[in-house]
Amino acid sequence: MRLTETLRIALDAIRTHRLRSLLTVLGIWIGIASVVLTVGLGQGASASVKSEISALGSNLLIISPGSTTSTSGVRGGFGSATTLTFDDATALQDKDVAPDISAVAPVASSSEVLTAGTTTWTSTVVGSTPQWANVRSRTVSSGRFFTEDEYNSGARVAVLGEETVSELFSGGSAVGQTISVNGTDLTVIGVLASTGSTSGTSDEDDTVVVPYTTGQQRLGIGSTGSVSTIYLQAKDSDALSAAYQEANAALLTRHDVTSDDADFSITSQQSLLTAATSTSKTLTILLGGIAAISLLVGGIGVMNIMLVSVSERVREIGLRKALGATPRVIRSQFLLEAIALSVVGGLLGIGVGWLGAVVLPKLINQPVTLSAWASAGALFVAIGVGIVAGVYPAGRAARLAPIDALRSE
The mean pLDDT of the chain is 81
Q: Round to whole Å and give the CA distance between 27 and 349.
A: 10
pLDDT confidence bin for 7, thresholds 50/70/90: confident
Cβ atoms within 10 Å of 120's Cβ, excluding its own = 12
- 233: which residues sit within 8 A by CB, 6+ positions away? 57, 58, 59, 60, 61, 101, 102, 103, 104, 105, 134, 135
Residue 276 has pLDDT above 90, yes or no: no
pLDDT in tens, 149-166: 999 999 999 999 999 999
Return the domain boundaries, the chain.
Answer: 3-52+275-407, 82-262
Taking only the tens place, the pLDDT of each residue in 357-367 is 888 888 877 77
Question: Quick check: 266 and 101 in contact, CB under 8 A?
Answer: no
Predicted confidence at residue 152, as pLDDT, reads 94
Kindly indicate the confidence band of residue 128, based on its pLDDT and cuts at 50, 70 and 90.
Answer: very high
For the segment 348-369, the average pLDDT, to the nearest whole number, is 84
- Identify whether the C-beta of residue 327 lies closer than 8 Å to the C-beta of residue 11: no
38-97, pLDDT tens digit by residue? Answer: 878 877 877 777 666 666 666 889 999 875 444 444 444 444 457 899 999 999 999 999
More confident residue, 214 or 30: 214
